[in-house]
Amino acid sequence: MPSCSFCSRQAVGSYALTDLNGEPDDPASWRRAVAPVCKSCHTALAEASDGGRVLKATGERWWLGHGQGKFAEPGNSMTGQWERA
Ligand SMILES: [Zn+2]
């Protein structure tokens, strides 16, 4: 397993994530990803639920799953990685 996307610990798996970097009202600020996450960061994201967690290093807010965000075309993301969390 690669290292966690949020810290230096070893990831336990790759998870669907949603990233907000900018204005929440702007669909261009939202990004969906699938990235390696460690156990403790996964727990933190899961506990954050709909509030998400801000990654202090980048100022981006992250959610577990792909259920958040304002996407212009919800079923057809730019990366083509749309999947239900
Ligand atoms: Zn981590």
Kindly give the distance from the C-alpha atom of residue 52 to the centroid of ligand 1, in angstroms, as a whole number: 15
**Is the pLDDT score of 85 beyond 50?**
no
Kindly give the distance from the C-alpha atom of residue 5 to the centroid of ligand 1, in angstroms, as a whole number: 6
Kindly give the distance from the C-alpha atom of residue 73 to the centroid of ligand 1, in angstroms, as a whole number: 30
Percent of the chain surpassing pLDDT 90: 66
Ion ligand 1 neighbours (CB, 5 A) are 4, 6-7, 9, 38, 41
**Is the pLDDT score of 39 beyond 70?**
yes
Buried b (16+ CB within 10 A) or exposed e, 36-64: bbbeebbebbeeeeeebbebeeeebbbbb
Kindly give the distance from the C-alpha atom of residue 47 to the centroid of ligand 1, in angstroms, as a whole number: 14
What tokens appear for 8 in the block?
A: 């230096």
